[in-house]
Amino acid sequence: MAGLLSDYLAAWVLRPRRYGLADCALFAADWVRLCRGVDPAAPWRGRYRSPRGALRLVREAGGFVALADSALAACGIGRTEAPRAGDVALVRAPCDREAFGCVGAIVVSDAMLVAMPEARGGLVYARMAQADVLAAWRV
């Protein structure tokens, strides 16, 4: 899985960041789709193009964690209390993402890669012990 993840991340950093095409939710969802062959973002893919549109979908679902729970459960993917490399997670958002409350992440060894469009390459590396993980799912 390490080689697949490396290839995925190399391709991700080259993609232009746009809501609905390459954002923090789709960062994790596209990884799940690549690994499992099912798209947890299918119900909302293409339904938003802005932060406002994304926020509307998140609120309709009862929050980002509820949205992810529902989407991943529909794909047969359950939560884990002990995330490991290759799993996906939602981590508490830095202040500029507070409207959503959290951002998507992929676990890599003892750390997480968090999708942050403002960061160089669109990703931030956060040690697992320092990340405020709200929920994680076993991919």
Entry pTM: 0.90
Q: What share of the chain is helix, strand, coil (3-state, %, to 5)?
A: 35, 20, 40
pLDDT tens readout for residues 59-102:
999 999 999 999 999 999 999 999 999 999 999 866 555 556 78
Domain limits of the chain?
Answer: 2-137
The three-point CA angle 38-6-64 to 5° equals 45
CATH of the structural domain 2-137, one choice from 3.60.40, 2.40.50, 1.10.150, 3.90.1720: 3.90.1720
10-19, 50-59, 97-106 — which is least confidently predicted?
A: 97-106
pLDDT tens readout for residues 111-126:
888 887 666 777 888 8
Residue 57, number of CB atoms within 10 A of its CB: 16
Residues of the chain with pLDDT > 70, as a percent, come to: 91
Greatest distance between any 2 Cα atoms in the chain: 37
The amino acid at residue 52 is R
Quote the pLDDT of residue 114: 84
